[in-house]
Amino acid sequence: TRSTRPQRLLGAVQKNATRGDPGSVIQAIDHYCRNKEWAMNVGDEKGCILDSVVSEVNPATVLELGTYCGYSTVRIARLLPPHAKLITLEFNPAVAAIARQVIAWAGLEDKVQLVEGASGDFIPRIKEQFGVKTFDLVFLDHWKEYYLPDTKLMEECGLLRKGSVLLADNVVCPGAPDYLEYVRSSPRYESRYFKSHLEYTKVEDGLEKSVFLG
Ligand SMILES: Nc1ncnc2c1ncn2CCOCCNC(=O)c1cc(-c2ccc(F)cc2)cc(O)c1O
Ligand SMILES: [Mg+2]
């Protein structure tokens, strides 16, 4: 049977990237998705914005919602200080299996905990299951209609502290209008839009960075 897009993306990593070299894994995926077949990675342009926010926050604890093939997981984990932890949630087991291999190829498995399941089920259990009190940084990149309910759930579960940073992908394309409205109008957030483009295209998209004020 025909291979899947995630399987072909993993093949490009194994063929073109150097084991243990996260930068070469990132380059191999971007080259493949720009020249062979598009895939919904955050990509190189928005990825640079992601890098700058990760470096600024210098987080000890990170939550990523929506792993996909692990491209943004590798981008984030490669910048984390030693002993920092990234928990990433992926819904689709077949996709999660690819992401594990991409993360391992980059040599970052010790910094990353990939969990399979839906965000709504896992968020309430993160504290007791993973011994995390609050997250310094949350990267939202899963189903766009889940951004708002999951943000409210993280607030209710006490997973955000004064200064926690939420960074949301695709707030323009595919779009998360209810989420944008919420973080931009709520007095509990200081929000800023980083204009960019949909990965590997000229279509407008961007990242919304929202600091929780407690
Ligand atoms: N832990 C969890 N809990 C719940 N659900 C979960 C989950 N983990 C995964 N999922 C399921 C959803 O995962 C993928 C979500 N990402 C996207 O859909 C996405 C789509 C485009 C896109 C597509 C087509 C266009 F034409 C234009 C743009 C671009 C992007 O950058 C995207 O990120
Ligand atoms: Mg995305």
Report whether pLDDT(1) > 90: no
The ligand placed nearest to the CA atom of residue 117 is: 1
45 is catalytic: no
What local confidence, expressed as pLDDT, does residue 3 receive? 98
Q: Which of 199, 205, 208, 209 is labelled catalytic?
A: 199
Q: Is the dihedral of CA 83, 89, 94, 98 positive or negative?
A: negative
What is the whole-number distance in angstroms between the Cα of residue 48 and the centre of ligand 1? Answer: 19
Q: Check residue 104 and report its DSSP letter.
A: H
- Which residue owns the Cα nearest ligand 1 atom 20? 40
3-state secondary structure of 29: helix
Report whether pLDDT(88) > 90: yes
Q: Which of 68, 86, 138, 201 for mutating ligand 1's site (highest number of atoms within 8 Å of CB)?
A: 68
Beta bridge partners of 148: none
Rounded to 5°, the CA angle 165-141-13 comes to 115
Closest CA to 43 of 170, 176, 137: 170
141 is catalytic: yes
35 is catalytic: no
What does the pLDDT look like over 7-26, one tens digit per residue? Answer: 999 999 999 999 999 999 99
What does the pLDDT look like over 140-187, one tens digit per residue? Answer: 999 999 999 999 999 999 999 999 999 999 999 999 999 999 999 999
> Rounded to an integer, what distance in angstroms lies between the CA atom of residue 141 and that of residue 16?
26
What local confidence, expressed as pLDDT, does residue 199 receive? 98
Bridge-based pairing state of the strands 189-197 and 204-212: antiparallel
> Rounded to an integer, what distance in angstroms lies between the CA atom of residue 210 and that of residue 74?
22
List, chain by chain if needed, residues with CB within 6 Å of any ligand 1 atom.
Answer: 40, 65-66, 68, 89-91, 118-119, 141-143, 146, 169-170, 173-174, 198-199
174-184 in b/e form (b: 16+ CB < 10 A) is: eebeebbebbe
127 is catalytic: no
